[in-house]
Amino acid sequence: MSLCTLYSRAQTGIDAPAVTVEVQLANGLPAISIVGLPEMAVRESKDRVRGALASERFSFPAGRITVNLAPADLPKEGGRFDLPIALGILGASGQIPLESLAQLEFLGELALSGRLRPIQGVLPAALAAKEAGRALVLPRENAEEAALVRGLTLYPADHLKAICAHLQGNAPLPPYSGQPQRAPSSSYPDLNEVQGQAHAKRALEIAAAGGHSLLFVGPPGTGKSMLANRLPGILPPLSEEEALQVAAVRSVSDATFDPERWRERPFRAPHHTASAVALVGGGSNPRPGEISLAHLGVLFLDELPEFDRRVLEVLREPLESGFIHISRAQRQARFPAQFQLIAAMNPCPCGYLGDPSSKCHCTRVQVARYRARISGPLLDRIDLHVEVPRLSPEELSHRPSGETSAQVRERVIAARDRQLSRSGKLNHALTPGEIQRFCGLDAANQALLNRALKQLGLSARAYHRILKVARTIADLAEQEMIQLPHLTEAIGYRRLDRDV
């Protein structure tokens, strides 16, 4: 009887819990069994491993082989355990030295030819391997993604035989030394391409500076989508830690990994026919949805009332908490969802309510029914409601002459720096206690806000959000205290509250 122990990683949400792979050879009828809560793809690995070992001319031991994937109560899925199982069999049968396995972790799916195939979710495993102080052996196609983790030693390989030669000391694998490049910021569309709409551009800058959610309301073709698409270009660049968080979410999803753009903020714009599962994530083995793929970036919902109301309601919790919890009968997962919501809608079913260039025939009942597709609690959580009117022919004929994204980004970065130095967070995330501390008003401004609350019938949440927006406007103006112009501008951004 002989035993070989080596290490790998499972996948749970964006976490990569450690898995100890124990392979035991014992006397008995030839058979191989895998225990430790394996799913079908893991149970089928015994056939892939047998074929790979035969193709690489290794001897498959006769006798009873037991593979234990510990801990036993952690579900194991996918083909990522093929490589450690194959190496465990070779180690237990004495074909590779056991002492060479102690400081390594192994991931990879095996083809019947012995070739290594890439797997999903390698970046969380790379982060966990670095934390554990071990090097990582993995398929070459995954090396560029895993190399995002600085300080981690990687040994990429194409075939099982190359890894065995490395472990035997015959032909050491060279550590991976490549580094992904970052795309230039000019890949974002520029804000100065949008003609006119100074009021909407101002609201977009405020939203970027404080991390606020924003709703554009206006007729078709007025530039609502153009404005939303330019928000990532005026946001500060992601730090390396933030970029790793974003890349980890993409790694465990079905989205492709682009090493040249991994430092860019995500921009997700799902179609209005998307389901609730597509938005929040799910499945028997939970995968992240659109709001998690927009983590630390922008989620743009165009034609907001056309989304199913039950789909929109799933946004309420992550807008407050910044996380999504997915529970299934046998699996739970937690995904980050700290996204910035930008939405756009028409003012009525035909789209032309209040537009002087067209006649709207929608009745008040039709308009009320159309807007009722967005629930009051969700609308209450959107900080800024901004009208985007139609431009006149004269405005359209002029060449764009507004500020560039780079110019606006400088002010946004300066405002964010003031917020982080003051409270350690952006204004949109201030708690009620922090609002009292950092968003105080003098008597005259407080009286103005109280009158606005009564006239508009605002909730306590809307009251706090007005103060947060006013604080951001003051930060953009480099003011320590909220002044009257800052407060009146913040109140003016509750457009739909005034229309009700």
Cα atoms found within 13 Å of the Cα of residue 79, Cβ hemisphere only: 17
Burial of 188 by CB count in 10 Å (0-12 exposed, 13-18 middle, 19+ buried)?
buried
Please give the biggest Cα pair distance in the chain: 89
Q: How many C-beta atoms lie closer than 10 Å to residue 446's C-beta?
A: 12
Phi and psi based region of residue 418 (left: phi greater than 0; alpha: psi -120 to 50; beta: remaining): alpha
Please tell me the predicted confidence (pLDDT) of residue 204.
96
Coil/strand/helix, residue 8: strand
Q: Enumerate residues 6+ apart whose C-beta is below 8 A from 440.
A: 481, 482
Please tell me the predicted confidence (pLDDT) of residue 90.
95
DSSP string, 245-297: HHHHHHHHSSSPP-GGGTTSPPEE---TT--HHHHHEETTTTEE-HHHHTTTS
DSSP classification of residue 488: H
Please tell me the predicted confidence (pLDDT) of residue 186.
52
DSSP string, 116-158: EE--S-HHHHHHHHHHHT-EEEEEGGGHHHHTTSTT--EEEES
Phi and psi at 496, nearest 5°, equal: -70, -25
Could you say which residues of the chain have pLDDT below 50?
A: 184-185, 498-500
Please tell me the predicted confidence (pLDDT) of residue 361.
85
Say if pTM beats, i.e. exceeds, 0.75: yes
User: Of 251, 259, 248, 208, nearest to 230 (Cα)?
Assistant: 208
Instruction: Please name each of the domains of the chain with its CATH number.
Output: 2-168 (3.30.230.10), 185-401 (3.40.50.300), 430-500 (no CATH)
Burial of 270 by CB count in 10 Å (0-12 exposed, 13-18 middle, 19+ buried)?
buried
54-73: pLDDT as tens digits: 999 999 998 899 999 999 98
User: 230 with 366: CB under 8 angstroms?
Assistant: no
